[in-house]
Amino acid sequence: MSATNPPHIVLLVSPGAGAGHLRPVAELARRLAADHGFTATIVTYTNHSSPTQYSSVLSSLPPSITTTALPEVPTDDLPNHARIETRLITVVRRTLPHLRDLLRSLSDARAGVAAFLADVFCPSALEVAAELGIPRYVVFTSNLMALASFLYLPEQDRTTTCEYRDLPEAVLFPGCVPLRGADLTDAIQDRANPAYPHMVDLGRQYLLADAFIVNTLDGMEHDAISAFQELSDNGVYPPVYPVGPIARQRSDEDAQHGCLRWLDGHAAGSVLYVCFGSGGALSVEQTLELAAGLEASGQRFLWVVRFPSDKDCSAGYLGSPADNQNHGEDPLSYLPEGFVERTSRTGLAVPLWAPQVEILNHPSVGGFLSHCGWNSTLESAAAGVPMVAWPLFAEQRMNAVMLQERTGMALRPKAREGDGVVPREEVAAAVKELMTGEKGETARLKAREMRDAVAVPLAPDGPARRALEAVASKWKSRDGTGE
């Protein structure tokens, strides 16, 4: 690295994943540039990123952060029904030669590469960085419990034979809330699926990292952070840097959205915000049941309505087998006949996308029915808004257990045995309880406590800043391994 150039880092964002991965990676780069003088290259995947969700994030980056997309690789040999994880991991692996070229040319440039950071689905890229002698890190955009679930998977694979949902005992990750096997990520729930060995491989590949930079904080995962500190001191795992919450910047453009003016007209704490993240999809039947339940609850609501999918609850993500982002229909046409008109005084249905952080921080919002994506969870906690936890896929069931049983800031409706649909009566009861009931009041108090806990790490000398300072000073040293 040249003494006259600012140190440069390269951050690789998982393909296919929506704003939930790009935003925290971009925000981390922004913090490293603003507070520690780094320049950065953010690397994405061509045709595996959502143009609308990506462009607003990427266009707001400062000039010290550049972006580049790796060339497209063919995946048409994968079967149509291949799981999204298989697709994403295949794209990452097939693109490695292009990544190698890119990293080599950046290493040869005057600034060099002080560190390479790979997002959740990209740990196979750590090997390329290792070959080139570049310090390598995992930037884990979810929490430590989810990272633990990956790290322990190779051992679980070796020591158990049944499907995880049939495990008789609770699954215990260090310092984490006990989980049922069925709460683990859906990508590992079928050992015969080709996605399964890919997931086991991820668990091994993470160990190539010099350290894990995790979007978590003491207020949410105190015991897990302490447990991993001990494991790292004993040389079991690389160190963890808890740099969360990596909060999203508010934007002027978002602040202009019409739904915020609609919220202005309602009483404080009276509106339930409903959103399933950047790619979550409900089935057609579940969409109808949710609509009927919201209507029956009599509560005010603001619902971001995405296209339903009967095939895949992650259908909104690019690269998903049932990827449905590009048909020109109106998602509101899937709502029950007359729903929008009947609820026009109490509810607003917004197609596809709304400015979530601004909504959660609007005084009229008193609850969040969420798929429990980790960014949504942190954003709700930061705003002190209690939740109805409605997990769909990935690590969201684990997050829901943490929210309900450890932080206490969420209520959880019961799905029907068999088809897993949450019926309208259950929706109405959960929503009413959150907004007006005693359990809702308790969740609200817990959410307020969380709001204070989430503010601590970002204080001028707070733990998130100190953790980032510690890792940044390693990268600034000549060999990237210490001061």
- Residue 233 CA to residue 236 CA, distance in Å, equals 8
Footprint of ligand UDP on 227-286 (CB under 6 A):
248, 275, 277-280
Identify residue 317 by its one-letter amino acid code: Y
Place of tokens 């890229």: 125
Which residue in the set 354, 401, 411, 447 belongs to the binding site for ligand UDP (CB under 6 A)? 354
Output 27 or 210, the one with its CB closest to ligand UDP: 27
Q: Pairing state of beta strands 271-275 and 365-370?
A: parallel
- Helix (H) or strand (E) segment spanning residue 218: helix 218-233
- Residue 332 CA to residue 260 CA, distance in Å, equals 19
The reply to whether 210 sits near ligand UDP by the rule CB under 6 A is: no
Provide, rounded to whole angstroms, the least separation between the CB of residue 111 and ligand UDP: 30
Output 85 or 210, the one with its CB closest to ligand UDP: 85
Reported as half-sphere exposure (CB side, CA atoms, 13 A), residue 223 has a value of: 11
- Could you tell me if 249 and 458 are in contact, meaning their C-beta atoms sit under 8 angstroms apart? no
49, 271, 377 from 346: Cα distances, Å: 35, 9, 25
Which residue in the set 208, 353, 462, 469 belongs to the binding site for ligand UDP (CB under 6 A)? 353
Identify residue 261 by its one-letter amino acid code: R
The reply to whether 374 sits near ligand UDP by the rule CB under 6 A is: yes
Output 39 or 320, the one with its CB closest to ligand UDP: 320
Provide, rounded to whole angstroms, the least separation between the CB of residue 57 and ligand UDP: 10
Provide, rounded to whole angstroms, the least separation between the CB of residue 408 and ligand UDP: 20
* 327 in active site: no
Identify residue 78 by its one-letter amino acid code: L
The reply to whether 23 sits near ligand UDP by the rule CB under 6 A is: yes
The reply to whether 147 sits near ligand UDP by the rule CB under 6 A is: no
DSSP label at residue 294: H
The reply to whether 339 sits near ligand UDP by the rule CB under 6 A is: no
The one segment of 39-47, 100-108, 238-246, 372-380 that binds ligand UDP by CB under 6 A: 372-380
> Would you give the end-to-end CA distance of the chain in angstroms?
15
* 77 in active site: no
Nearest Cα neighbor of 121 from 94, 156, 85, 95 is: 85
Angle at 424 between CA 420 and CA 426, to 5 degrees: 75
The one segment of 203-211, 353-361, 420-428, 432-440 that binds ligand UDP by CB under 6 A: 353-361
The reply to whether 356 sits near ligand UDP by the rule CB under 6 A is: yes
List, in order, residues 6 or more apart from 363 with CB less than 8 Å away. 268, 269
Binding footprint of ligand UDP, residue count (CB under 6 A) = 21
Provide, rounded to whole angstroms, the least separation between the CB of residue 98 and ligand UDP: 25
- Residue 481 CA to residue 479 CA, distance in Å, equals 6
Which residue in the set 174, 219, 347, 373 belongs to the binding site for ligand UDP (CB under 6 A)? 373
- Could you tell me if 142 and 194 are in contact, meaning their C-beta atoms sit under 8 angstroms apart? no
Provide, rounded to whole angstroms, the least separation between the CB of residue 359 and ligand UDP: 8
The one segment of 39-47, 57-65, 149-157, 350-358 that binds ligand UDP by CB under 6 A: 350-358
The reply to whether 331 sits near ligand UDP by the rule CB under 6 A is: no
Output 114 or 304, the one with its CB closest to ligand UDP: 304
Write out the catalytic residue numbers: 21, 119
List residues near ligand UDP by CB under 6 A. Answer: 18-20, 23, 248, 275, 277-280, 304, 353-357, 373-376, 379
